[in-house]
A and B are shown apart, each in its own frame.
Chain A
Amino acid sequence: ETGVTQTPRHLVMGMTNKKSLKCEQHLGHNAMYWYKQSAKKPLELMFVYSLEERVENNSVPSRFSPECPNSSHLFLHLHTLQPEDSALYLCASSGTGNTEAFFGQGTRLTVV
């Protein structure tokens, strides 16, 4: 395994379900990020973890709950989502400071 790996690649969930997205990085980085990519809109930064501490929460609704148990893993817990939350969710990692960010392949989420 190399780089940044996200699972699952595709997820369909009902509005009352609870699910989690997983991200794992094998690059020795200590910062991890969640981004949301909706159709026709720029990628939006959702959460930033640096050294396993959340340092950014960009006004994201509480139905999205991140978790970073260690520097290699990042989760996004989802509950009672809305259809407008359907999007591609991308995880990224980087070193601390102004270093290059590397992205995973994303999870395509559909809320029905």
Chain B
Amino acid sequence: KQEVTQIPAALSVPEGENLVLNCSFTDSAIYNLQWFRQDPGKGLTSLLLIQSSQREQTSGRLNASLDKSSGRSTLYIAASQPGDSATYLCAVNTGTASKLTFGTGTRLQVTL
């Protein structure tokens, strides 16, 4: 059974700092990995999708990498801003549809 772990569970950084969020998964037979952002009480916003054949994806200040063989992904956020404060979720797809297995998330707070 696929298990997804995210470390750290919570993180507080000052504005402007670069940071890395970690995600690990136990079964490397994945189709893709997706990073989401969730604001309190809200739904999920898709940030980046990495297919199993890819090593990384970039969108603006975000860069996600994937090392499928070691079961790891990282989300790099450059020049963090208070508006980046949210919970970041990692999810892996091991099915032919987007049947995602989620981690418990990293709660990020960016302070002024």
Contact = CB atoms under 8 A, between A and B. Distances in A.
A21 interface: no
Contacts of B104: 40-42
A56 B46 contact: no
Interface residues of A, number: 30
Contacts of A99: 49, 98
A5 to B, nearest CB: 10
A48 B4 contact: no
Chain A interface helix/strand/loop/mixed: strand
A101 interface: yes
B32 interface: yes
Interface in B82-108: 89, 91, 93, 95-105
B66 to A, nearest CB: 13
A98 B104 CA distance: 22
Nearest to B103: A42
Contacts of A4: 43
Interface stretch (B10-18, B34-42, B68-76): B34-42
Contact of A108 (B32, B41, B52): B41
A92 interface: yes
A72 B52 CA distance: 28
A90 B32 contact: no
A35 B104 CA distance: 14
Interface of A: 4, 6, 31, 33, 35, 40-43, 45, 48, 50, 55-56, 88, 90, 92, 94, 96-106, 108
